[in-house]
Amino acid sequence: MENQPETTVRRHRRIIMFPLPFQGHINPMFQLANLLYSKGFSITILHTNFNAPKISNYPHFTFKSILDNDPEKRRFLLADFAQDFIHTQDHADALRHELKLLLASEKDEPVSCLITDALWHFTQSVADSLNLPRLVLRTTSVHSTIVYSSIPLLHARGYFTLDDSHSEEQVVEFPLLKVKDVKKIGIKSTKDLYAELIGNMVKQTKASSGIIWNSFKELEETELDRVPDDFPVPRFLILFPKYFKASSSSLQEQDQTIFPWLDQQPTKSVVYVSFGSLSQVEEKEFLEIAHGLVYSKQPFLWVVRMGFVKNSTWLESLPEGFPGERGRVVEWAPQHEVLAHEATGVFWTHSGWNSTMESICEGVPMICSSFWGDQPLDARYMSDVSRVGVYLENGLQREDIASVIRRILVDEEGEEIRERAQVLKQKADESVMKGGASSESVETLVDYISSL
Ligand code: UDX
């Protein structure tokens, strides 16, 4: 589909959208914004100065910077992330102030609703105080939303504090998951800031006027049936990457020089490696990745962000001569376009949900690693339910890495995974066609917002 929404529709209603200022949250919010704009809504984006969006890419939206306008108070630094969300009263006051102005504006269309990232939980009480319906964008899967809503239960059953001897055991309440998957979410106790943040997010999502997921029914039908009754209806599953690519909301310059190199590689031979916008590795792990890629004897394109390796700036710990002729290392890639390139054979991902959905949309099988949060849940789902990936679940060792790459790309065994990835892509394609589940969800969402 087109990456720029058409601009000729007469607009009657406005939607105010408030993304969380991190790449994996900004991308789906802007995909949703473009989609709603293409359906005739005007869009106002509220944003922080920290990780501010590239406004020039969106001449059709209105932007308003809020919350961290005081340069002395850089509230949204990653290190303060969880801490920041807990102390939200001044954020709430600032948001209420801006929303009041927007709601009173006579030059703009009437406002239908506010759509915020689920993690901006404090926005629910602000919206309530202004009688403004708030919808939630949850940037993860339905599956992980359900697991996150059960964190108090999982904690009460003691899963987060089990020692490593229980790692491979099944989680009784979620038989798909192993104890180590649940532990890797990163909760230590229900009293830690992260648990408090998730608890508030779940509570205020339940209080909202609806949830939107970047997903599709054909992928998560079983999970949809398991969403607890106390989550608000209606629910919308929309396959964002099939409507708009995430490239236009990239915060970093995407290296376009890779395409002549990619064009020269054999079809479906390249390992594309990217671990998203936030994950980090130790230097030892970094070197295992590097050696594993070389050992695989396959061409590779590896995204290494500045700061990806703890205590390093960029590539300084790599051995001399790396990556050699077979590989390319870049700081940031046009990911969706790389996944869509015919040379790309497998995506070694950290199992961030946007990356996972982008890979599915292009029919690219995955090697799934995971670091924290929803990633272990996504990795397990891709490997054991959708079966379009192999979960590299026991850390990063060069021999395992090389072996799993060859297993997917070269060995006969990989044929089934490659085929399943193509079948899932076909389902994704059908979902966004007229009459498909994603397409119907878009129409229902538009009708719903119009009715508010
Ligand atoms: C995090 C979580 O991991 C994710 O599960 C959650 O839903 C959102 O927050 P992140 O770790 O950054 O996000 O991963 P991911 O969700 O995969 O998002 C990364 C985005 O950056 C993707 O849209 C991807 O296309 C883009 N990207 C990544 C690039 O444009 N270029 C790159 O080189 C790498």
pLDDT digits (tens, 9 = 90+) for 380-397: 999 999 999 999 999 999
Give the global pTM.
0.96
Hey, is 31 helix, strand or coil? helix
In a domain, 9, yes or no: no
Do 192 and 320 fall within a single domain?
Answer: no
80 is catalytic: no
Of 339, 333, 275, 338, nearest in space to 307 by CA: 275
Do 297 and 227 fall within a single domain?
Answer: no
CATH label of the domain that carries residue 90: 3.40.50.2000
In a domain, 244, yes or no: no
Query: How far, in Å, from the CA of 251 to the mean position of ligand 1?
Result: 11
Angle of helix 217-226 versus helix 142-149 axis, rounded to 10? 20
Do 210 and 67 fall within a single domain?
Answer: yes
pLDDT of residue 148: 97
Query: How far, in Å, from the CA of 9 to the mean position of ligand 1?
Result: 31
In a domain, 249, yes or no: no
For residue 272, list its beta bridge partners.
301, 347
In a domain, 301, yes or no: yes
Q: Cα separation of 447 and 449, whole Å?
A: 6
pLDDT of residue 85: 56
Do 268 and 182 fall within a single domain?
Answer: no
In a domain, 8, yes or no: no
**Which ligand 1 atom is the nearest neighbour of the CA of 279?**
11
Q: Cα separation of 308 and 108, whole Å?
A: 43
CB 276 within 8 A of CB 347: no
Indicate the DSSP class of residue 334. -
Give the pLDDT mean for 128-137: 98
* Interface predicted TM-score (ipTM): 0.99
pLDDT, one tens digit per residue, over 152-192 is: 999 999 999 999 999 999 999 999 999 999 999 999 887 88
**Who's near 309: CB < 8 A, 6+ residues apart?**
280, 281, 282, 283, 286, 317
Do 147 and 277 fall within a single domain?
Answer: no
Measured from the CB, is residue 140 less than 6 Å from ligand 1? yes
Before 110, cis peptide (omega within 30)? no
Do 230 and 310 fall within a single domain?
Answer: no
Query: How far, in Å, from the CA of 350 to the mean position of ligand 1?
Result: 9
Measured from the CB, is residue 332 less than 6 Å from ligand 1? yes
pLDDT of residue 76: 47
Least confident of 49-58, 284-293, 397-406, 442-451: 49-58
How many Cα neighbours within 13 Å face the side chain of 127? 25
Do 407 and 439 fall within a single domain?
Answer: no
**Which ligand 1 atom is the nearest neighbour of the CA of 27?**
23
In 58-178, alpha helices (H) = 81-86, 89-104, 123-129, 142-149, 151-156
Do 309 and 213 fall within a single domain?
Answer: no
In a domain, 234, yes or no: yes
Total tally of structural domains belonging to the chain: 2
Q: Cα separation of 283 and 263, whole Å?
A: 31
| pLDDT above 90: percentage of residues in the chain | 82
Do 290 and 201 fall within a single domain?
Answer: no
Of 180, 215, 187, 216, nearest in space to 392 by CA: 180
Query: How far, in Å, from the CA of 97 to the mean position of ligand 1?
Result: 31
- State the DSSP string of 173-234: TEEEEEHHHHHHT----TTSHHHHHHHHHHHHHHTSS-EEEES-HHHHHHHHHHS-TTSPSP
Catalytic residue among 84, 117, 181, 378: 117
pLDDT bucket at 108, cuts 50 / 70 / 90: confident
In a domain, 171, yes or no: yes
Ligand 1, atom 4, lies closest to the CA of 352
In this model, does residue 68 exceed pLDDT 80? no
Do 156 and 274 fall within a single domain?
Answer: no
Measured from the CB, is residue 277 less than 6 Å from ligand 1? yes
pLDDT of residue 409: 97
Do 189 and 102 fall within a single domain?
Answer: yes
Do 209 and 229 fall within a single domain?
Answer: yes
In a domain, 36, yes or no: yes
More confident residue, 334 or 234: 334
Structural domain boundaries, residue 20: 14-239+433-451
pLDDT, one tens digit per residue, over 325-347 is: 899 999 999 999 999 999 999 99
CB 365 within 8 A of CB 417: yes
